[in-house]
Amino acid sequence: MIDIDKVRAQLEDELRQLGAKVEEIEEDLRSPKSAGWEERATEIEGDEVLDALEGSALREIGEIRTALRRLDDGTYDRCAGCGKKIGEKRLAALPYTAQCIKCAEAGAA
């Protein structure tokens, strides 16, 4: 049996952590850059990595917000692809998943 309150608390905590991570990345990206071209080239590479990390964090934030909405509307444990129940082990491992393992492997929804 899924403990909805525990899942909600876990998702909200993850959301706060990711939000802080995104703010930190954005601050790093806004920081002044070096004048030297070699240092600047290294910083640009670092910025590209930060951009990718930020994009990943923002996608995960979206998935968590969707999971929280699914908790609110009672569809949390239902697969967005096939409508069947998502296994408790899968939800425990990836609490913001919207798909059962079968649909995730098939690339559905």
pLDDT digits (tens, 9 = 90+) for 8-64: 999 999 999 999 999 998 988 887 776 677 777 777 778 888 889 999 999 999 999
pLDDT recorded at residue 1:
79
d(CA 42, CA 36): 10
d(CA 84, CA 9): 24
* Confidence (pTM): 0.79
What kind and span of H or E run contains 20?
Answer: helix 4-30
Q: Are 77 and 85 in contact (CB under 8 A)?
A: yes
DSSP state of 55: H
Q: Are 104 and 97 in contact (CB under 8 A)?
A: yes
SS3 85: strand
Q: Are 90 and 60 in contact (CB under 8 A)?
A: no
Domain ranges of the chain: 1-76, 77-109
93 has a pLDDT exceeding 60: yes
pLDDT recorded at residue 66:
96
